[in-house]
Structure 1
Amino acid sequence: MTPFTYAKPSSIDQAVQLAGPGARFIAGGTNLLDLMKENVARPAQLIDINDLPLRDISPTPDGGLRIGALVSNAELAWNPLVEQGYPLLAQAILAGASPQLRNMASTGGNLLQRTRCLYFYDTATPCNKRAPGSGCPARDGLNRNHAILGASPLCVAVHPSDMCVALAALEARVIVRGRSGERCVAFADFHRLPGDTPERDNTLADDELILAIELPAPRFAAYSHYLKVRDRASYAFALVSVAAALELDGSAIRTLHVALGGVAHKPWRDAALERQVVGQPATADTYTHFADSLLRAARPLPGNVFKVRLARNAIVRALIQAQRGKCQ
């Protein structure tokens, strides 16, 4: 492990002033510490933010919910306001990691998880995400778990979070603060596709700290479902996951939101395509047509061709389950 300095600021302003290109914020550390042990991440300074006042879950004036960045995943999943108003989020969190990790992992840190690509973690191999310009051996190597959507010639890694898939479907906002002030980032704009800079996972500046996540007023408490398809039932990352949320007018679709995990460098969603099914009957045929359209841009690799059909079936199944309601 590379030597580093350590600071524990007592205020948000102090934390932001300490931040910079060579520094990393640490809270639960459930991903960052692994990366440091493997010499994938080599921060010159760790900024411990655990003493900052970012642990509240509170209603917002518009009827939504503000979740402090230091709220643990376990606290968030079992919070009554989340269970009642945003069961999709609770389901997604409980589908991820293990109870021990959920007790440690912070909400803000979950957004900053890095890919679990084997080549990214193996410093003996090239990786454009870890060492820009070195290559992407996953394209011609072991790529069963890799992207089928939104990849680039430089990177085919996928984002590992379950929680973020639900947040994408719920149209969350991320509140961040840097030395130039505070700003609100739509969740769809927070994470990046790899493009020609795969080393950049998100749109945060070097000095910006996540303060909170804000959810809009509940809309999908009655009809939502999180489906995670993985190699084993316990502590495995998704091959494909689906956060499905519906509002219904009788037997017709009023609103449909679908976000996919395990298939791209960020949670994958197409809001324009979702609007096209508004007013259509809430049937398996509608859901199948939607799934086929959503996956039309898929470009699988030799090892993950199966993900296209798997994702199609998972989307349809998740939407059918969401339509049955939260009590089913």
Structure 2
Amino acid sequence: MRPFTFERPTSIAAATQSASQIGGKFIAGGTNLLDLMKVDVERPTNLVDISALPLRDFNATAEGGLRIGALVSNTDIASDPRVRERYPVLAEALLNGASGQLRNQATAGGNLMQRTRCPYFYDVHMRCNKRQPGSGCSAIGGYSRLHAILGASRDCIAVHPSDMAVALTVLQAEIEVHAPSGVVRTLPISALHRLPEETPDHDTTLAPGELITAIILPPPPAGRQTYRKVRDRASFAFAVVSVAAILDIGRGTVRDVRLALGGVAHKPWHPRAAERELAGAPANGASYKAAGRAAVAGARPQPTNEFKIGLAERLIARTLADTAASGG
């Protein structure tokens, strides 16, 4: 066990100041951080417990959306009647994301900040640029069945594990962030996570000490919402490929469509080419298949995960067809 200090501040300002110091880490539910500490991947020198902060609000916004405090549990989000009725893609993603025990403990903010489940990242004896910058990437040329096919770099092919983040991407949610300086900013969820490029050790765009304090959902978009996840077993498992879709159809034509993919990149992937392919197109199987092909047109797989290309194509087409058949 590596020694560390522990504190439980009662204000956001105190929490962000403490966590901004070298070796500082926020902890709330701890469902990911504690696991990483146990295998010696994360080595914080100061744990800042934010569980006492006033971040459990769950309220309607004046614009007709929802504001979800960062400490609201995944269970409470997924079971909330407003989410189930107006944002079913989010409820479905959360229910697909973990076991009931984990959902009870995990928080909204922590879900977004969880780290990759790449086995080379978890094994301190393996080369990993995300864990130890400049050491190399054992996944490239190694066992990479579950790794990225889109947006990867020569330094990292890990994927982001959050199902919730994929749903929030398709909903075009925003997050509220408090900085140690006291500045509060709001940014789109699509700007939170980043691609690996040459610095895969930086999972997000947040600076040290910055704290997610809320998730803001806009008014629900028109159309039907679906989340579908392909995984290796029916019980709790991370996505091989997942799709969040919102489809609005009128008079046999796609009026609007939004898509987001999980399990294929270092961040939730927004396949804009697929959306452009579908906009104004006939709402039929041929159009859905074309969208699937467009979504992965730039894929660069490893030898052991080439199957993900065809899987993603088929999953997108099938999800769109099923969403349309449900009344979209």
Q: TM-score range by the shorter chain?
A: over 0.9
Query: Relative to structure 2, which stretch is displaced further, 246-255 or 35-44?
Result: 246-255
In structure 1, C-alpha distance between the alignment counterparts of 2:298 and 2:108, rounded to whole Å: 31
Residues 1:17 and 2:53 aligned together: no
Q: Give the letter aligned to residue 80 of structure 2.
A: N
Describe how 1:89-100 pairs up with structure 2 within 5 A. 89-100=90-101
Look up the match of 1:182: 184
Look up the match of 1:314: 315
What displacement does 1:273 show? Answer: 4.5
Look up the match of 1:214: 216
In structure 2, C-alpha distance between the alignment counterparts of 1:322 and 1:105, rounded to whole Å: 29
Deviation string, structure 1 residues 252-271 (Cα, Å, up to 9, x no partner): 11111111100100010033
The answer to whether the Cα contact below 8 Å between 1:224 and 1:323 also exists between their aligned partners in 2 is no
Deviation string, structure 1 residues 188-209 (Cα, Å, up to 9, x no partner): 1110000000000000110210
Look up the match of 2:194: 192
Describe how 1:230-249 pairs up with structure 2 within 5 A. 230-249=231-250
Query: Relative to structure 2, which stretch is displaced further, 161-170 or 275-284?
Result: 275-284
Look up the match of 2:85: 84
Look up the match of 1:6: 6
The answer to whether the Cα contact below 8 Å between 1:252 and 1:279 also exists between their aligned partners in 2 is yes
Q: Give the letter aligned to residue 211 of structure 1.
A: T
Q: Residues 77 and 326 of structure 1: is their aligned pair in 2 closer, same or farther, counting only changes over 3 Å?
A: farther
What displacement does 1:272 show? Answer: 5.6
- SS of the equivalent of 2:59 reads strand
Look up the match of 2:114: 113
In structure 1, C-alpha distance between the alignment counterparts of 2:78 and 2:227, rounded to whole Å: 13
Unaligned runs of 5+ in 2: none
In structure 1, C-alpha distance between the alignment counterparts of 2:61 and 2:264, rounded to whole Å: 33
Q: Give the letter aligned to residue 75 of structure 1.
A: D
Q: Give the letter aligned to residue 296 of structure 1.
A: A
What displacement does 1:325 show? Answer: 2.8
Q: Give the letter aligned to residue 207 of structure 1.
A: G
What displacement does 1:294 show? Answer: 1.2
In structure 1, C-alpha distance between the alignment counterparts of 2:262 and 2:234, rounded to whole Å: 16
Deviation string, structure 1 residues 158-213 (Cα, Å, up to 9, x no partner): 00111111111111101100023001111111100000000000001102100001
Look up the match of 1:167: 168
Deviation string, structure 1 residues 232-289 (Cα, Å, up to 9, x no partner): 0001111000001112223211111111100100010033652443221111111111
Q: Percent identity of the aligned residues?
A: 54
Query: Relative to structure 2, which stretch is displaced further, 138-147 or 243-252?
Result: 243-252
Q: Give the letter aligned to residue 187 of structure 1.
A: I
In structure 1, C-alpha distance between the alignment counterparts of 2:83 and 2:257, rounded to whole Å: 20
Q: Give the letter aligned to residue 167 of structure 1.
A: L
In structure 2, C-alpha distance between the alignment counterparts of 1:250 and 1:84, rounded to whole Å: 25
TM-score (norm 2): 0.97
Residues 1:300 and 2:265 aligned together: no
Give every structure 1 segment of 4 or more consecutive aligned residues whose post-TM-superposition deviation is greater than 2 Å: 270-273, 324-327
The answer to whether the Cα contact below 8 Å between 2:274 and 2:292 also exists between their aligned partners in 1 is no
Aligned residues: 326
Q: Give the letter aligned to residue 4 of structure 1.
A: F
The answer to whether the Cα contact below 8 Å between 2:177 and 2:186 also exists between their aligned partners in 1 is yes
In structure 2, C-alpha distance between the alignment counterparts of 1:178 and 1:324, rounded to whole Å: 45
The answer to whether the Cα contact below 8 Å between 2:25 and 2:44 also exists between their aligned partners in 1 is yes
Q: Give the letter aligned to residue 205 of structure 2.
A: T
Q: Give the letter aligned to residue 291 of structure 1.
A: G
In structure 2, C-alpha distance between the alignment counterparts of 1:311 and 1:274, rounded to whole Å: 15
Q: Give the letter aligned to residue 32 of structure 2.
A: N
- SS of the equivalent of 2:212 reads strand
In structure 1, C-alpha distance between the alignment counterparts of 2:69 and 2:226, rounded to whole Å: 24
- SS of the equivalent of 1:146 reads coil
Look up the match of 1:255: 256
Q: Give the letter aligned to residue 275 of structure 2.
A: E
Q: Residues 93 and 47 of structure 1: is their aligned pair in 2 closer, same or farther, counting only changes over 3 Å?
A: same
